[in-house]
Structure 1
Amino acid sequence: MVSYEKQLSKSLSEPVESLFDAAGRDTWASIRKLLTRETEIAVSEFSAAISDFELDQSTVEKMLQDLRDYARNLVEKKAREEAGNVLIRMKDRFSTLFSHDNDSMPRVWTGKEDIKTITKDARAASLRLLSVMAAIRLDEKPDEIENTLFSSLMEGTMTAASSVDRSITSSDPLASSSWEEVSPKNILITPVQCKSLWRQFKAETEYTVTQAISAQEAYKQSNNWLPPPWAILAMVVLGFNEFMLLLRNPLYLMVLFVAYLLSKAMWVQMDIPGQFQHGTLTGLISISSRFLPTVMNLLKRLAEEAQGHQTPDGPRQQSPLAFQTFKNQSPINPTSSVPESSVSSNIPTSDGGIEYSSPNLTHRRSTKIQEAQVS
């Protein structure tokens, strides 16, 4: 029989613990089904094992009942152990549901999330876990533990202002040490203990909600640099004279444009939005410490760019000097390399004139009469 008890302990302990870890409305129904299945398997195997022995029916029934009681006591013992850690499990469930979305991805508080709804859903899941662990439900008897807890803790929290108008004589359903329709031996957590655990749970998870709200507000401020609409309207109305002054003096527009370019460059260099992500005071201190080095860096870069535009003019100014040097160094040849015989100049004159030929300096004179005789 000891071997079958070990078999039941192995087949029930870990599955029951897993079901309590994911506690929900169907937790106890699943535990009852698991208990019935594993108990029947162990009982049938044990009956087959002792069938060869000549035992009376009463002894066999007693041994089988002891095996069933062992399985039930094992589940009840496991439930009491898990009830002692219910606060830890409630906080773990709240943290999981609050910090992760439906796809089990970590939440990034960008300002679009409804923190109030997310907090309410996470607390409701934690309170449902508390209602599951409040009593042992192996007998399939209905109870109102979950409804009582939600009406007293969740709805009572949401309507705290209206609770002032309640009658002083109205009874608190959690001001008791027992649950209605639940046997005292099956109670794991009393109503008074549930109320105390819920108060402690809210106090320990309030910091997580506050951090989420702060992160959301910081994200909104870092992505919204515009003033309120009423401030924009006031600037338009009160700054009308200055606007007309700018239109009459375009030079002011040029000055403002240059100032805008410089401020934009400093904005990018100093990464002002990134500095304010860690807080206003931290951002101001960081900007004040980086302001002067950033200005000096911009002036240095402007000076380097100005020098860079002047450097290409240097070689152009040296080109006449190089040409003059080359001219002085090259020797001058007084005589031409071309032979004199190849150089000639023919200067034609009028019909009755003179024709000269050089370099032979041949002079030929012809007249119209001689041409006529030759012809």
Structure 2
Amino acid sequence: MANDGSCSTQLIDGDGEFNVAGLDNFIKTVNLASCGLSYAVVAIMGPQSSGKSTLMNHLFHTSFREMDAFRGRSQTTKGIWIAKCVGIEPSTIAMDLEGTDGRERGEDDTAFEKQSALFALAVSDIVLINMWCHDIGREQAANKPLLKTVFQVMMRLFSPRKTTLLFVIRDKTKTPLEHLEPILREDIQKIWDSVRKPQAHQHTPLSEFFNVEVTALSSFEDKEDKFNEEVAQLRQRFFHSISPGGLAGDRRGVVPASAFSISAQQIWKVIRENKDLDLPAHKVMVATVRCEEIAEEKLNQLHSDKGWLELEEAVQLGPVRGFGEKLSSIIDARLSQYDEEAIFFDESVRNAKRKQLETKALDLVYPAYTTLLEHIHSKALDDFKTKLDQSLNNGEGFASSVRTWTQTIMLEFDNGAADAAVRHANWGASKVRDKLRRDIDSHASSVRIAKLSEITTNFETKLTKALTKPVESLFESDGKDTWLSVRELFKRETEAAASEFSASIAGFELDEETVERMEQNLREYARKVVENKAREEAGKILIRMKDRFSTVFNHDNDSLPRVWTGKEDIRAITRDARSASLKLLSDMAAIRLDEKPDRIGSVLHSSLIDKTSASTSSQLITREASVDTLASSTWEEVSPEDVLITPMQCKALWRQFLGETEYTVTQAISAQEAFKRSNNWLPPPWAIMALVILGFNEFMMLLKNPLYLMFIFVAYLLGKAIWVQMDIAGEFRHGT
């Protein structure tokens, strides 16, 4: 490459090797890729040593190697060279082809000649045909093989470009161009007609494939100034050559400048493989390759895009407001860049690759989108939990709170999902939304269960407190109908609790069946409290019976302690005490919350009290031996589930009770006898009368002697004090 503004570069060497690196460097140096479709390619063909390079250098200010006239005519341009036309707008690439009919390649080596001609026709908009003026009209002119070659290779293009053939007549004579041009065109037409064509183009006119232009230049060696002047005029025709009316104004099938390198490489590859060149297919191929490159470049840029990286990092930490809009803008920027760079390529290929780029870009950002939705979901669920707790703490109804906050939170999620939506994607947040709704429902259900359980537990605790002690007190009292009192207490407390419970769960808006079931469960719990207390008291019945016996036996009707003076009917008192104890046993024998009649009391009284009183009767003893009404494990008319103490257990308990209270009765009887004895310590009346008669003299002596009387009085006081201090009278009453 020459160090000048034209950047001359050998594109294809004499052996047909394509200089890929050189072309890429050339395109980069002259900034060709930025031209889009606004560029032109001008090639020149002609016989060897016909001054092609000289013409190109003067016409386009390039620096192609020129022939040294002092060294004779020889090949100077080998292969194909390219250079930038200096000072030409739009950007124009000059292509200098190796001359034809060169002695270096020989007469039979025409393959490269045809290949280079086909290459020039495939990539160039304007082809300069350099020819000598004296060859016009000659049958054996030097340019005829060249033209035949051009037309033959044109047939190998399936859909050829419309190329401008600019015939440059060198070393013109005095014959005016107006006279030379018709002759030249006639020769061109004859050559076109003589070329063998495919069936589809048998009658296709030359103008379908080529725009033919003719110009003439004076001799460079003889009339250099005139030559330079004419070249300067010709140069003006290359300004805006691709505009309508320009030299290549009606060109077609242009490859965008950014794909020129790919296109040129592939065209030369096909030509070297001696295949027919399908330009439409080639155009699609070039568009495919180049669009893929552009798309890959934009995707890589998206990977390293600072805005995207910051957005991706922020999403990992939590929700990002405006995520969808920011991400859409980032993707839009890359797609717009792609559109700008791929705008000149085949539309179908361009759109397909754009769609692929968009898909890959969305695949890249989709994980961040799903992460954001997870954050929005988590935040929405946490907000629901917080708001629901606050509402419940403020005393608001559960169902209304759930309904209100569910609607609010779902709306917030929808807004967040809409904010996260990317314009290019049809990603739906429905799955995450459904999951959020399920999670909200699940949390609401768990809170509902917990709150109802808490309310139920509170009321059960209240019922336990309201029933346990009062029921225990009723069982301990000597009420006439203990179970009637228990039933009244049970009904009163249960109904009050059920009513309050119903009001407490009204905010949950439960269906009537559920409310009734929960109230029934509460009633059943209350019943179990009473039943459990009854079973607990039944386990202590013997102690209760003994306490009751002791209380009734040892206290009178005014609850004062009894003093066994000998007047009390111990048998009757014992019967009353035992009856009171038996009533306790009767009360605790079965649970009576259902107001069903039973005969437990009468059976126990007849079997235990009456028979005990009549135990002296042999007839009754015989009947007792033959029929034992307590020899059973159930009570008549009482459900087995309600039995606390079976008849047989009652009989055993009563026997144990009698044994353990017998000592108390015995002690009372002994105390009564002792009291009787203590009241009978004075001598009989006759003994007292005898003492008075017989001791009259001694009594009179005491009266006559006061000292004796004083001594006796002191002795009396001392004895009285000892008597009171030692409670001797009490000891006598107790039989000691």
Question: Under a length normalisation based on structure 1, what TM-score does the superposition of the two structures give?
Answer: 0.63
Q: Which residue in the other structure is 1:170 paired with?
A: 626
Alignment of 1:82-97 (within 5 A): 82-97=537-552
Choose which of 675, 678, 681 in structure 2 pairs with 1:219: 675
| Code of the aligned partner of 1:254 | N
Unaligned runs of 5+ in 2: 1-455, 703-707
C-alpha distance in structure 2 between counterparts of 1:204 and 1:257, whole Å: 60
Q: 2:513: which partner in 1?
A: 58
Amino acid in structure 1 at the alignment position of 2:579: A
How far 1:66 moved relative to its partner?
0.6
How far apart are the structure 1 equivalents of 2:505 and 2:538? Answer: 37
Q: Find the aligned partners of 2:508 and 2:476 in 1 and give their Cα distance.
A: 42
Distance in 2 (CA, whole Å) between partners of 1:257 and 1:174 is 77
1:160 aligned partner: 615
Instruction: State the Cα RMSD in Å.
Output: 3.3
State the SS of the aligned residue for 2:598.
Answer: coil
Pick from 506, 511, 531 the counterpart of residue 76 of structure 1.
Answer: 531
Partner of 2:697: 254
Correspondence list, 1:117-132, <5 A: 117-132=572-587
- What is the Cα deviation at residue 269 of structure 1? 5.1
1:278 aligns with 2:721: no
1:107 alignment partner, SS class: coil
Equivalent AA in structure 2 for residue 15 of structure 1: P
User: How far did 1:52 drift?
Assistant: 2.5
The alpha-carbon distance between structure 1 residues 72 and 93, as it changes in their structure 2 partners (threshold 3 A), is same
Q: Which residue identity does 1:13 align to in structure 2? A: T
Deviates more, 1:111-120 or 1:271-280: 271-280
* 1:29 to 2:484 alignment: yes
2:658 to 193, 199, 202: 202
**Number of aligned residues:** 269
CA distance in 1, matches of 2:678, 2:696: 29
Residues 209/228 of structure 1: CA separation in 2 closer, same or farther (3 Å cut):
farther
Work out the CA distance in 2 between the residues paired with 1:197 and 1:6: 34
Superimposed CA distance per residue, residues 187-206 of structure 1 (whole angstroms, 9 cap, x where no aligned partner): 00011111111111111111
Give the match for residue 639 of structure 2.
183
Counterpart-to-counterpart distance in 2, 1:90 and 1:68: 31
Relative to structure 1, the CA distance from residue 101 to residue 257 in structure 2 (aligned partners, 3 Å threshold; closer, same or farther) is: farther
Offset at 1:251?
8.2
- 1:94 maps to a residue whose letter is F
**Equivalent AA in structure 1 for residue 563 of structure 2:** V
Q: Distance in 2 between matches of 1:258 and 1:115?
A: 51
- Residues 251 and 166 of structure 1: CA distance in aligned 2, closer, same or farther (over 3 Å): closer
Contact 1:24-1:129 within 8 A present in 2 as well: no
Q: Distance in 2 between matches of 1:180 and 1:225?
A: 58
Q: Distance in 2 between matches of 1:61 and 1:275?
A: 73
Letter in 1 for 2:656: Q
**Alignment partners' CA distance in 2, 1:115 and 1:168:** 26
Partner of 2:458: 3
Partners of 1:46 and 1:256 in 2: how far apart? 93
Tell me which residue corresponds to 1:309: none
The separation in 1 between residues aligned to 2:485 and 2:663, in whole angstroms, is 35
Query: 2:560 & 2:645 partners in 1: Cα distance?
Result: 33
CA distance in 1, matches of 2:548, 2:644: 20
Query: What secondary structure is seen at the aligned counterpart in 1 of 2:595?
Result: coil
Alpha-carbon shift at residue 167 of structure 1 (Å): 4.3
Larger radius of gyration: 2
**Separation in 1 of the partners of 2:731 and 2:492?**
57
1:145 to 2:588 alignment = no
Q: Single out whichever of 177-186 and 52-61 deviates more from structure 2.
A: 52-61
- 1:320 aligns with none
Quote the Cα distance in structure 2 between the aligned partners of 1:156 and 1:73: 36
TM-superposition CA deviations, 1:251-307 (whole Å, max 9, x none): 875258779x99x97777545975475369x98xxxxxxxxxxxxxxxxxxxxxxxx
CA contact (8 A) 2:630 2:651 kept: yes
Counterpart of 2:558 in structure 1: which amino acid?
Answer: D
Q: Provide, for residues 151-187 of structure 1, a one-character-per-residue CA deviation record: whole Å limited to 9, x for no partner.
A: 1111101110214552477311111111111111100
Q: Say whether the 8 Å CA contact 1:175–1:192 is kept in structure 2.
A: yes
| 2:472–2:533 Cα contact (<8 Å) kept | yes
Identical residues among aligned pairs (%) = 60
Q: Which deviations, in whole Å up to 9, do the C-alpha atoms of 1:129-151 show, x marking residues without a partner?
A: 11001100001011111101111
1:41 matched to 2:496: yes
Q: Which has the higher contact order (CA 8 A, sep 6+)?
A: 1
